[in-house]
Amino acid sequence: MYVLNAGRLSRKVTFLQYTDTVDEHYRTEQTLEEYATVWAEIKPMRGYEYLEYYREKNKVQTKITCRYRDDITEDMVVSFNGKLHEITAIIDIEDLHTALEIMVQERVGEDKNVGKSDV
């Protein structure tokens, strides 16, 4: 049986979701809007180098552990440390609905900083 240690949930992460907005010229565009902010534990899992347009970059896979929520989906984006991260997997630990392990990967090649206009 998995027991969530609440003392380890010491970092705030924000889940963002894409929403369609219509501007004054009636054009539809997708924007990121804040969905929920939760306390979580963040652990870098592994890093590897790869080539993108013939340049070396680092890609880090990170594991986020938080209390169970049934409204988090893989098409959302996670923000912490001022950077955006794509969700690659969501795991309900032991299917007990106690905690989630969310695997994320930092966005590369896009505007990674989160500003007031993005949230």
With a cut of 70, say whether residue 83 has pLDDT above it.
Answer: yes
Burial tier of 40 (Cβ tally within 10 Å: 0-12, 13-18, 19+): buried
The per-residue b/e assignment along 87-106, b for 16 or more CB within 10 angstroms, e otherwise, is: beebeeeeeeeebbebbbbb
| Mean of the per-residue pLDDT values of the chain | 85
Helix (H) or strand (E) segment spanning residue 11: strand 11-22
Domains and CATH numbers, the chain: 9-106 (2.40.10.270)
Asked if 65 contacts 8 with a C-beta cutoff of 8 angstroms, the reply is yes
| pTM (two decimals) | 0.79
User: How far apart are alpha carbons 41 and 113 in whole angstroms?
Assistant: 21
Q: Which residue has the tokens 């893989």?
A: 74
What percentage of residues in the chain have a pLDDT greater than 90? 62
Average pLDDT of span 86-111: 88
List, for residues 26-82, the tens digit of each pLDDT value: 899 999 999 999 999 999 886 665 555 555 666 778 999 999 999 999 999 999 999
DSSP state of 50: E
Confidence of residue 116 (pLDDT cuts 50, 70, 90): very low
